[in-house]
Chains A and B, each alone.
Chain A
Amino acid sequence: MKVKKMKDSRLSTIILHNVLIGVLAFIWLIPIVWLLCTSFSAYTGMNSKTFFPEKWSIQGYVSLFHPDTVAQFPQWFINTFIVACATCVISTMFVLMVAYATSIMRFPMRKPLMNMAVILNLFPGMLAMIAVYFVLKTFNLTNSYAGLIMVYSASSGLGYLIAKGFFDTVPRALCEAARIDGCSEARIFFQMVIPMSRPIVVYTVINSFLAPWMDFVFAKMILNAGVSSKYTVAIGLYKMLDKQLLNDYFTQFCAGGVLVSIPISILFIIMQKFYVEGITGGAVKG
């Protein structure tokens, strides 16, 4: 009798439990669903009367691929992709390099350098923006992707902590053994530690790849020649929300948002496992 009762309550709590998650997921997805619906609206402006568009259409997507002077989505996508790839390579390298040096190796400047990094991380990045702009201008790198890539990746070494935390979990004895066998540090780095740290590499790659897709502040500042075909996706879409343009481009904005999110979501699905392991491997020991 008693056993049976327990089973009953179990079943009902399981249902309740899953319904609760469902409700939460529903709340979380409302804006995303709205984004998706609005992107299929036949009306170009913002609809604030109903949740679902009154008339459905794929016009938003169609016009997105027929560039005019404002919207040059395919071009933006290519631009951002190039910037993102370059940023991704450089940032990942920098982060892993710094993380390895500070985690596996021991040298006298290690602590002071790490303390410097902590201090530098406390300054608001927004503030340095104007100065960064002038530094780039000095090197004649404004309005160029090289400049943008540098902004995204040059200081990436400062974000080494999570990767360092992960490397800290690599058994020290393994490295020592390799050293005794006469392995150079470079070989230990490339052939031992990196292959053992797939999750954190993936985590770093995703994170640095995403930055150019999300950032609109720095990009707006650096690509300031007003030439639409040179924009990244983020500024291109952001400019569509200009007062004069909003009414004609809101649906395209939503469509663009959806198109950007799709590859990122896929990236997340594939990498989810690594991502979680990478984050936590680093955060746990951090």
Chain B
Amino acid sequence: MANQTKGGAAEAIGGFFKAIGGFFSGFGTAVAKGDLFVKLSLLWWGAGYARRKQYIKAVIMTALEAAVILFTIFFAMDYVPKFGSLGTVKAEKVFNPDTMKSEFNNYDHSFKILLFSLFSFVVWFAAIIVWMKNMMNVYKLQQMDEAGEHINTFEEDLKTYVGEKFHITLLTLPVLGVIVFTLIPILLLVFVAFTNYDQNHMPPSQLFSWVGFTNFITLFGGGGLTSTFGYAFVRVLGWTLVWAFFSTLTTYIGGILLSLLLNSKKTRAPKFWRFLFVVTIAVPQFVSLLLVRNFFADNGIVNTICDNIHLTGFLKDIGLVGTNYIPFLSAPGWAHVMIIIINIWVGVPYQMLIATGVLMNIPSDQLESAKVDGAKPFQIFRKITMPYMLFITGPALVTDFVKNVNNFNVIYLLTQDVYTTTDQAMANSQAQEVDLLVTWLFRLTQDYYNYKMASVIGIIVFIICAVFTLVAFNFMIKGDKEGTYQ
């Protein structure tokens, strides 16, 4: 993780533009210097291969070209022209008693227009690359032909895909999966942030349209007197950051301490102990967290016990609680602390497993020499173990932070249907004090169909994560002690 991101940022951007430049100049050369068949390949993709007797390739490229053209005519053209307006024809239907069916007009479905236009753009983008690349290939073939070099047969070409081009064989399907199931959905929702797709504009019965930056203005406090989105956003964002910080920190340190404890020479039957902790990972979160939530419910077992040992009464006397029960998960403050504590319960065993492995790899000579020098265990921990852990798992810590910003499960399972906010300004924006940005956006889409605001929040989450990652990695480069442990 660290390696590519560290040097990555600046280098990648520079390299990226250089690559693009090279790509275009290669294409230009091919067009300018190519012979008739190479130039013909601009129109007929298979031309160049046919000329060099690579007939199978010629057929494949021709078929591909035909496919793109057919796709454009019969599919893309139904949607892309409407991309600017996202549709104008509303659904209307007439019931036909003879067929017992409704007959719809040829109506526009804004979401489909958006989605399929995006599909089309991706396909066209790919097609253009293929087209340019194709030009360069056939030009190369021309050069090889002129130089009298051997031109691969189709079989030989295929063989390169388990040889030097094996990465293509490996990457094609995974990349395709990512494009269809991650990239396109994300792009789609980035677009939705600039539309008015909400409860009043829901396809198929209604249309939505572009609204520019209105939603962003609403989120940052604009959008009229009644809107409390700005207020709720700041509160939710604050808690999201606090949560991400503390949940990452507590489980990280907890995991290291626990693994030190378990891996100490004093521990008897370490495997058994470790297994006991790992069992908590094995129970699915939706089971264990829902149980814990009932455990700490206002009338749950813990409250019954606290009441029996008069703890509730004591807390009430000193003014910490105002109710007849301890509001573990139902009052702000209490709930915030409890959520972080419960998350320790969930997260520490997992971190313990990671830390165990890392600690096994600590250079033992350093530990030995420290012991010989008479260092106390705590000093060893502070001077050797901790820096080593930080060095090794630092990047993972950054990813953990990002994961916790997006930690839907813990918050949702612990607070959904249990927590009711008493902050009216939050309630008016369908938010709660214990919401993370992701749970808030989930509720906005599931209960209020407010897709536009959810998308805006999603983009903000992305920006936060991106900025944090960049800053953290830059910081790490500065403090880079690479070599210390090698």
| B233 on the A face (CB < 8 A) | no
* B contact patch SS: helix
Q: A129–B360 Cα gap in the complex (Å)?
A: 40
Which of A31, A51, A117 has the most B CB atoms < 10 Å from its CB?
A: A31
Interface string of A8-41 (1 = CB under 8 A from B): 0000011001101100110111011011001000
| A46 on the B face (CB < 8 A) | yes
Contacts of A153 in B (CB 8 A): 177
Which of A154, A156, A241, A256 has the most B CB atoms < 10 Å from its CB?
A: A154
Interface string of B338-353 (1 = CB under 8 A from A): 0000000100010001
Q: A260–B354 Cα gap in the complex (Å)?
A: 24
* A contact patch SS: helix
Query: Residue of B at shortest CB range from A97?
Result: B170
| B167 on the A face (CB < 8 A) | yes
Q: Is the CB of A107 within 8 A of B167?
A: yes
Q: Is the CB of B261 within 8 A of A280?
A: no
Q: A112-B19, A272-B278 are in contact. Are A165 and B170 (CB under 8 A)?
A: no
| B454 on the A face (CB < 8 A) | yes
| A186 on the B face (CB < 8 A) | yes
Q: A279–B361 Cα gap in the complex (Å)?
A: 13
Q: Is the CB of A123 within 8 A of B458?
A: yes
Query: How far in angstroms is the closest Cβ of chain B from A175?
Result: 12
Query: How far in angstroms is the closest Cβ of chain B from A103?
Result: 10
Contacts of A62 in B (CB 8 A): none
Query: Residue of B at shortest CB range from A276?
Result: B357
CB under 8 Å from chain B, chain A span 99-144: 100-101, 105, 107-108, 110-115, 117-132, 134-135, 138
Q: A129–B461 Cα gap in the complex (Å)?
A: 15
Q: A237–B286 Cα gap in the complex (Å)?
A: 9
**Which of B4, B185, B349 is in CB contact (< 8 Å) with A135?**
B185
Contacts of A165 in B (CB 8 A): 1
Contacts of B267 in A (CB 8 A): 17-18, 21
Query: Residue of B at shortest CB range from A221?
Result: B446
**Which of B159, B183, B261, B461 is in CB contact (< 8 Å) with A124?**
B461
| A48 on the B face (CB < 8 A) | yes
Q: A27–B344 Cα gap in the complex (Å)?
A: 12
Interface string of B441-452 (1 = CB under 8 A from A): 110010000010
Q: Is the CB of A115 within 8 A of B287?
A: no
**Which of A50, A100, A118, A234 is in CB contact (< 8 Å) with B284?**
A234
Q: A119–B4 Cα gap in the complex (Å)?
A: 12
Query: How far in angstroms is the closest Cβ of chain B from A277?
Result: 6
Q: A100–B167 Cα gap in the complex (Å)?
A: 8
| B209 on the A face (CB < 8 A) | no
Contacts of B273 in A (CB 8 A): 21, 25
Q: A279–B158 Cα gap in the complex (Å)?
A: 36
Q: A131–B455 Cα gap in the complex (Å)?
A: 11
Q: A255–B316 Cα gap in the complex (Å)?
A: 37
Query: Residue of B at shortest CB range from A108?
Result: B19
Q: A72–B189 Cα gap in the complex (Å)?
A: 36
**Which of A46, A119, A154, A283 is in CB contact (< 8 Å) with B177?**
A154
Contacts of A254 in B (CB 8 A): 287, 291
Q: A10–B181 Cα gap in the complex (Å)?
A: 58
Number of inter-chain CB pairs below 8 Å: 286
Contacts of B285 in A (CB 8 A): 214
**Which of B163, B181, B284 is in CB contact (< 8 Å) with A261?**
B284
**Which of B12, B19, B184, B354 is in CB contact (< 8 Å) with A280?**
B354
| A98 on the B face (CB < 8 A) | yes
Query: Residue of A at shortest CB range from B403?
Result: A121
Q: Is the CB of B349 within 8 A of A115?
A: no
For the complex, count residues of B whose C-beta is within 8 A of A. 103
Q: Is the CB of B1 within 8 A of A286?
A: yes
Query: How far in angstroms is the closest Cβ of chain A from B464?
Result: 9
CB under 8 Å from chain B, chain A span 157-203: 157-158, 160-161, 165, 184-187, 189
Q: Is the CB of B111 within 8 A of A155?
A: no
Which of B167, B273, B277, B345 has the most A CB atoms < 10 Å from its CB?
A: B167
Q: Is the CB of B466 within 8 A of A127?
A: no
Contacts of B395 in A (CB 8 A): 286
The 5 closest A-B pairs by CB, nearest first: A280-B357, A157-B174, A131-B185, A185-B166, A154-B177
- Chain B positions within 8 Å of A, measured between CB atoms, are 1-2, 4-5, 8, 11-12, 15-16, 19, 111-112, 115-116, 159, 162-164, 166-167, 169-171, 173-175, 177-178, 180-186, 188-189, 258, 261-262, 264, 266-268, 271, 273-288, 290-292, 294-295, 297, 299-301, 304-305, 345, 349, 353-354, 356-358, 360-361, 392-393, 395-396, 399, 402, 406, 408, 437-438, 441-442, 445, 451, 454-455, 458, 461-462, 465-466, 469
Other A-B contacts than A107-B167, A286-B1, 5 sampled, CB-CB below 8 A, are A18-B268, A21-B261, A32-B288, A126-B438, A275-B353
Q: Could you give 23 example pairs across A and B, Cβ below 8 Å?
A: A31-B291, A34-B301, A35-B287, A35-B288, A49-B301, A94-B177, A101-B167, A111-B4, A111-B15, A113-B171, A118-B5, A127-B461, A135-B181, A138-B112, A138-B115, A155-B181, A156-B174, A158-B178, A186-B169, A217-B408, A234-B286, A279-B357, A286-B2
